[in-house]
Amino acid sequence: MRFSFAKQFVRDYDAIAADMSTADRERLDELIAGVVSNPRRPGRFPAFYDPDHPSWLLRAHPFLVHCAYRPDGDEVTFLNLFRRR
């Protein structure tokens, strides 16, 4: 399984990284690793942004990750990262 981070995801991460605790970093790492190991995992919600390129939202408090999975290319792309304040 391949994975990549969209430029916006990297910007989102950079914007919140300084305020993240060690537990937050571990939670986010676990979420990303879980998506890469099973992109069809339970608990994902369709994002409905573009029906031609489906994407999903996954939550691990306090984070919400927007990602896309291309089964034909066996690749996950992490599109956006949101953090609850």
**Domains of the chain, start order:** 2-32+44-83 (3.30.2310.20)
Q: Which residues of 50-74 are buried (b: 16+ CB within 10 A; e: fewer)?
A: eeeeebbbbebeebbbbbbbeeeee
Strand partners, 34: none
Going by C-alpha positions, the residue among 85, 51, 82 that lies closest to residue 66 is 82
Q: pTM higher than 0.85, yes or no? A: yes
Of 5 and 47, the one with more pLDDT: 5
Q: Provide mean pLDDT across the span 66-70.
A: 93
**Contacts of residue 39, Cβ cutoff 8 Å, sequence gap at least 6:** 1, 67, 69, 76
pLDDT of residue 24: 96
What pLDDT is recorded for position 18?
A: 94
Query: Do the Cβ atoms of 4 and 77 come closer than 8 Å?
Result: yes
pLDDT at 85 over 80: no
> What is the pLDDT confidence band of residue 70, given thresholds at 50, 70 and 90?
confident
